[in-house]
Amino acid sequence: MNVKVLGAANEVGRSGFLVNCNGTNLLLDYGVLFGRRGTPPGYPVHVKPKDLDAIIITHAHLDHSGYVPSLFVSGNTDVYATPPTFDLSKLLIEDMLKIEKNSHPFDLPELNNMMKNAKEIGFKQKIIKGNATFELRESGHVIGGSTILVESEKKRIFYTGDIKTNGSRMIREMDLDIGEIDLLITESTYAKTEQKPRKESEKELIEFANEVMDRKGILFIPSFSVERSQEIACILKSVNFKHKIIMDGMALKVNEIMFRHLDYLRDPKVFSEAINSSTAIREHSERKRAMNDPCVVISPAGMLVGGNAVFYLQNLAFDDKNGIALVSYQGEGTPGKKLLETGKVSSRGRDVNVTAEVKQFEFSGHADRNELFDMIKKIKGNPKVWAIHGDSESCDMFAKEIHEKFGLETYAPAVNDTITV
């Protein structure tokens, strides 16, 4: 088998890998790289749709799924993913097209064409395509999120996509019962970083929520709509949080999708109870009224970019009874990052000091350094390793350390690099 890097080399974004199994071509992920403000989005290396035998999407995040519709201007290749991945990809790509009008070389017709060619598969379901066999395994990262095993000519490739080896309150742990591997393509997002154990972050967040409620304030939790929002609701539910929990924005659509795929969750009962007992905001008029008493507001966007988060920020940021809990990654140049670094937000074109108490909590959807090395330890065989999906320092260092610790042949590949197994 021969594999080519199309993207996610020394960067987080535009994942894409082309696997040639003796003439059968599989495309693993095809995502978008979001530029800094004002710069156009980036894409993986171009591939001709007619050369592809199958496209496989690990999970719905746009850096893995967002550019797949570009292959459906007139194409009709089979696309494989789990049912939740398809539902969420559709939602997220539609949203991307709405927010970034006319900045991508495809639109809704191509997305619809992609969905027409969707082949839903479950975990561990083996698919044979030409000279290749492939299957998805649980990744612990997001609902329906998977890793990919490709087998051909007695060689086996394991591509992690994004992983959270321990899973989370919402998602079961990663499946590593995968047999011997000849090539491991692993994400490196937090290869340099150790994270706080999830339980500690949960405890800190609960304490903060109680403090804010005790002083009769409102706690605003801007949060990614896919899963982080639901996870926060479940964490509060798990301690029988007595105050109202408000959910708003795209998180509500994600709730609906998750209700359709309860068997992909670690604990469907806790999820259902948490969401059913929360208050959904569907109309603007409900928004202000809902905040009469001490409560928690969970609303996208996680980095405070656009959406209803702006409304809540303007209404809640300038009262010292209130709290703001940042639970999502804050990208450079985002209002969330600015709030953390300067304590200010923009209000009517001016920078204004926030008086609400602002705290950050670690809730990453990615494996940290310890989890990543734990995974490498559990991989059987003597695989070559590609470290991808991290900044160049993380990929380089991770590759070097894997080589030193395990003696494996390891690279941090560049775009267009190829490898044969």
Question: In this structure, is the dihedral angle defined by the CA atoms of residues 245, 255, 137 and 56, taken in order, positive or negative?
Answer: negative
Q: For Zn ion, which is the closer residue by CB, 169 or 287?
A: 169
* Location of structure tokens 């923009």: 346
Q: For Zn ion, which is the closer residue by CB, 171 or 379?
A: 171
Q: For Zn ion, which is the closer residue by CB, 63 or 371?
A: 63
Return phi, psi of residue 131, to 5°.
Answer: -90, 10
Beta-strand runs (E) in 70-114: 78-81
Closest CB 386 distance from Zn ion, rounded Å: 15
Give the binding site for Zn ion (CB under 5 A).
61, 63, 162
Closest CB 145 distance from Zn ion, rounded Å: 7
Please name which of 145, 162, 32 lies closest in space to residue 99, comparing C-alpha atoms: 32
Closest CB 216 distance from Zn ion, rounded Å: 38
d(CA 229, CA 224) in angstroms, rounded, equals 6
Please list the residues that pair with 56 across neighbouring strands. Answer: 28, 80
Closest CB 159 distance from Zn ion, rounded Å: 12
Q: For Zn ion, which is the closer residue by CB, 63 or 202?
A: 63
Is 397 strand, coil or helix? helix
Closest CB 387 distance from Zn ion, rounded Å: 14
Q: For Zn ion, which is the closer residue by CB, 53 or 63?
A: 63
d(CA 376, CA 373) in angstroms, rounded, equals 5
Closest CB 389 distance from Zn ion, rounded Å: 6
Please name which of 64, 301, 271 lies closest in space to residue 171, comparing C-alpha atoms: 271
Q: For Zn ion, which is the closer residue by CB, 91 or 297?
A: 91
Please name which of 402, 316, 330 lies closest in space to residue 363, comparing C-alpha atoms: 330
Please name which of 97, 95, 33, 87 lies closest in space to residue 60, comparing C-alpha atoms: 87
